[in-house]
Amino acid sequence: MRERLKASPNPILVKYITGPALIRDADRNFKNMMSVNLAHALMLDKQGIIPSEHVKKLLSAILDLKDKGAGALPMSAEYEDFYYNIEQYLIKTIGMETAGKLHTARSRNDLWVTVFRMAVRDAVLKLIPLLLTLRRTLLDMANKHADTILTGYTHMQPAQPITLGYYLSAVAEALERDFTRIIEAYSRLNQCAMGACAFAGTGFDIDRAYVAELLGFDCPIENNMDSIAGRDYQLEILADLAIMGSTINRFTHDIYYWGTNEFGYLEVDNTLASSSSIMPQKKNPITLEFVKSKTSHLLAAFMDAATVLKGIPFGHCKDMIETLKPFWMAADEAEVILIMLNATISTLRIKKDGMKDRADSNYCTATELSDELVKTEGISFRIAYQIVGSIVGDCVDAGLTCKDITAEMLDKAGLIFAGRKFNWPQEKVARALDSAYSVAGKECCGAPGPNSLSAMLGHLEGHLEEDEKTLEKLLAQQQKAEEKLAKEIKKVL
């Protein structure tokens, strides 16, 4: 296959490019390449392009090699790449006359693109269940803590009371969108390049749809040049993983801070923490730190692949292989992120009493007091805002908490800003400033009130069940393709 070059590959090329690629491909691409070879041989037989007796020998030899595994290949860098090593093995096993016919009506270009798409598909199908599991964990936890009071923050300052279940449902909803983006990208990934040959197709009467079906693809990529040149499916999935990483990073940031002594809202499991070599009291939530840091690699991988594709021709060139390095890095990191975060979240110890006490003390219910004044006293919200803001300012200056606000303070501020007293009993003031009362009264669409939250959790549960069925369909499609491939082989043999 190097007759045109009349020279062996340079040792530098072997050391830095060909040799490492052979090892990677043997580990990652052997099974898929065997499937592509089998499907292509079946198509050549179906279309009558090569004699059936040769097809039977090819199928038997490929199946035998598949059973033995990549370790049966001599793996010589003299043969340039992994595919050529397989071809040489088949030639030595069943002869050039038969083995040489396998490459009829195809190129390494469409072969490798198809193998790459299958490998990327494998990686995505491995990540999807992990994302679904994390969503399931968040929903289970949200239901469990639907009434666990939590301070909601804006600008990292106490804002309004919510519940932990409400917060977790928000994260679950964001991860649902991340899932949807990945599934939509999957539909563009799961298209077959086989039959495109080098990029201009072939004069042989091939059946591209048949090969695509045998390999578990939805359809062939229609344009042969686009089949070879397109790598946007990698960029799209990498972008989706980076966006998912952003969601996870922000969520993990909150959990990380809430576990500090200053917040004291939660605590990670001892098995997922580390100690200090010098400070005996330390319990370090290292899984959260790893998750936060690893999400940066997902963004870096997208930028890496996008940079590789910048300024190269819309055709075949070796540059495009380099997009796979950041993809595999991102896929591996995403797997660790999802598994580690799920393990951490599912074993958190939530300190409910401390969370409730903090919400009742840090003035996050001040807005509720303003709203109560508007509802019961007929004053404008801005006047109510001035009244409550004045009270809070005085209390903060005096070193008091929200629990220390009295009916007398309310009447004093009412005279200043509304021109009158309100004569509320202290019980009414205390109720308005109670975090649980504030949450319970917020029942508009999307709010943390019990009925609203219950509806949201129901919707999220329904969507998750639908998404779990979507995964089942995707896996069933691959299973069906494997079964049909085996059935077609058996029929020929």
Q: What is the mean pLDDT of residues 121-146?
A: 98
Average pLDDT over residues 40-66: 97
Q: Looking at the structure, do residues 282 and 393 belong to the same domain, yes or no? A: no
Domain-embedded: residue 489? no
Give yes or no: residues 55 and 193 share one domain.
no
Cα–Cα distance list, 103 to 33, 99, 111, 199 (Å): 13, 8, 10, 15
3-state class (DSSP) for residue 5: coil
- The position carrying tokens 């009506």 is 105
Q: Are residues 59 and 42 in the same domain?
A: yes
Asked whether the CA dihedral 360, 365, 366, 368 is positive or negative, the reply is negative
Same domain membership, residue 153 and residue 96: no
Can you give the pLDDT at residue 1? 59
Q: Is residue 120 part of a domain?
A: no
In this structure, are 279 and 427 located in the same domain?
Answer: no
Q: How confident is the model at residue 15 (pLDDT cuts 50, 70, 90)?
A: confident
> Does some domain include residue 17?
yes
- Count CB-CB contacts under 10 A for residue 184: 12
Q: If DSSP codes are grouped into helix, strand and coil, which group holds residue 162?
A: strand
Q: How far apart are CA 226 and CA 429, in angstroms?
A: 69
For residues 437 and 172, give the distance between their C-alpha atoms in angstroms, rounded to a whole number: 25
Residue 5 has pLDDT above 60, yes or no: no
Give the chain's mean pLDDT.
95
Domain range spanning residue 77?
Answer: 11-104
Q: How many structural domains comprise the chain?
A: 3
CATH of the domain at 343: 1.20.200.10
Q: Is position 116 within any domain?
A: no
- In this structure, what token pair is assigned to residue 487? 């059935």
- 36: nearest Cα among 123, 124, 121: 121
* pLDDT above 90 as % of the chain: 91
Q: Identify whether residues 315 and 208 lie together within a single domain.
A: yes
CA dihedral 94, 100, 101, 104 (to 10 degrees): 150
Residue 111 lies in a domain: no
Do 388 and 328 belong together in one domain?
A: no
* Last residue of one domain, picked from the residues 88, 104, 120: 104
Domain end: 433, 451, 470, which one?
Answer: 433
> In terms of pLDDT, which residue wins out, 95 or 18?
95
Residue 441 within a domain: no
Which residue, among 181, 54, 36, has the nearest Cα to 110 in the 3D structure?
36
Q: What does the pLDDT read at residue 3?
A: 58
Tens-digit pLDDT profile for residues 265-309: 999 999 999 999 999 999 999 999 999 999 999 999 999 999 999
Burial of 107 (0-12, 13-18, 19+ CB in 10 A): buried
At 16, is the pLDDT very low, low, confident or very high (cuts 50, 70, 90)? Answer: confident
* In a domain? residue 448: no
- Kindly report, residue by residue over 407-419, the tens digit of the pLDDT: 999 999 999 999 9
- Indicate the pLDDT class of residue 371, thresholds 50, 70 and 90: very high
